[in-house]
Structure 1
């Protein structure tokens, strides 16, 4: 195993890694059944070309997922990380960008689910604090269900300074908070926007929330205290995608 490589598991995570020309897949471990399934899903493309393939039994593959209590589905791959995009370069000469910023969100399952929803509804990218991003987490890759291969993930050293710089470049920052005065569906959502989400437990850090131009909320049944962050994010992403389609 290379120093920079790591393992991912699960059908969608592994197949999408194989489909991604930017992702280097070093080795893949499959059951006979999962190999057949790969060919069924991509009959016109040999995804296993130039990849070292090893056939294993389901039991032999269990060792790669037992500790995380995950289902490998007969797919395990050793991969290298993708080249990290640079936020400053990405936003240059672009308009109508929508980015997510996760403040204090560290749970790999939630991050993976948010990545999956963001890719599904054409969000342009996700900003996270570098030390909070579980870049080699099997759980995150499994929860993202392959969507991580199609999402711009910007790892930054400081969330607050990043937001400050983006505001200076004509981005509006919308902090999602249950105490927000306005429902997010009442916003026009034009121009360049940052959707700022805090952690499930404590929400946005107090100092970080000061960088929000507006605090908005998702109106839900008063009897329910809150939504899971990944559910909240998916609702917002879908609404913005719907608005964009109406304009287009």
Structure 2
């Protein structure tokens, strides 16, 4: 069993149906609309509810930041890499894939932030490694504001082998590296692409870097050399989302010219 805590993580887990709930604990001293929405959903789905003192919730969550709700759930099952070759629910098979691969991100706050960005940028799936990486813990889920419950996540043993399998399926592997020669906004993300992000501080492992087809960089105008991995990931993924959104939209049509010349309007005091 695992613990989820916080209004957004618990509510999104209920909405997504990705977790099997054992029971949900809510604080006796909290009574508001957001918490009531969770209580109503639990009752609708026949999920056991327990009213507890706030101190008991803090003990279960191991933090006071539980916002009055803690859920005990079954451990999440990860997908296989092959599952990400299939289109996401609601997406057409012909739609180019956009994947995110995390090469050893160890901070659960960064993992959660990246999963939140992946959900917002319509990423089709996220690839993480089994070892030397942050687990999908309650901290990471809380940092994702519950978005982790909606993102398809595959866990692999060897990132290099996983990238090679993606390349065999005609998916371009694009690593983010400050030594890259191509700006992130110069790359065409409208084809099948996996964006590869490295570890905090150290970046991509050498073999992972060599496996990538292209290395992109984010030009920095200030005095620091690079961004935090979650901030850098947000920059690149939203650029990819912008390009892919523009590809699917028709060209704007200019407004028709008026039949009569527009009369000049006088300003105040004239």
TM-score (norm 1): 0.89
CA–CA distance in structure 1, aligned partners of residues 236 and 125 of structure 2: 14
CA–CA distance in structure 2, aligned partners of residues 28 and 114 of structure 1: 27
Report if the CA contact (8 A) 1:7-1:136 is conserved. no
1:183/1:60 Cα in 2 relative to 1: closer, same or farther (>3 Å)? same
TM-score (norm 2): 0.82
| Structure 1 residue 91: Cα displacement | 0.7
1:17 aligns with 2:48: no
Alignment partner, residue 176 of structure 1: 176
What secondary structure, in the 3-state scheme, does the structure 2 residue paired with 1:165 have?
A: helix
What secondary structure, in the 3-state scheme, does the structure 1 residue paired with 2:101 have?
A: strand
1:136/1:227 Cα in 2 relative to 1: closer, same or farther (>3 Å)? closer
Report if the CA contact (8 A) 2:7-2:34 is conserved. no
Alignment partner, residue 24 of structure 2: 28
Tell me the C-alpha RMSD between the 2 structures: 2.0
For residue 83 of structure 2, the aligned residue among 75, 78, 89 is: 89
Unaligned residue ranges in structure 1 (runs of 5+): none
Total equivalences in the alignment: 240
1:89/1:19 Cα in 2 relative to 1: closer, same or farther (>3 Å)? closer
1:34/1:233 Cα in 2 relative to 1: closer, same or farther (>3 Å)? farther
Alignment partner, residue 43 of structure 2: 48
Matches within 5 A, 1:158-173: 158-173=158-173
Report if the CA contact (8 A) 1:70-1:139 is conserved. no
Larger radius of gyration: 2
CA–CA distance in structure 2, aligned partners of residues 212 and 21 of structure 1: 35
Report if the CA contact (8 A) 1:17-1:25 is conserved. no
Alignment partner, residue 119 of structure 1: 119
Alignment partner, residue 100 of structure 1: 100
Residue-by-residue CA offset, 1:78-137 (whole Å, 9 max, x unaligned): 011333222213314744101111112121111111001100111111111123454452
1:189/1:137 Cα in 2 relative to 1: closer, same or farther (>3 Å)? same
Which structure would you say has the larger RCO, counting Cα contacts within 8 Å and 6 or more residues apart?
1
1:65/1:100 Cα in 2 relative to 1: closer, same or farther (>3 Å)? same
Report if the CA contact (8 A) 2:190-2:243 is conserved. no
Matches within 5 A, 1:1-248: 5-32=1-28, 33=30, 36-40=33-37, 46-49=41-44, 50-66=46-62, 69=63, 71-92=65-86, 94=93, 95-135=95-135, 137-248=137-248
Unaligned residue ranges in structure 2 (runs of 5+): 88-92, 249-270
| Structure 1 residue 197: Cα displacement | 0.7
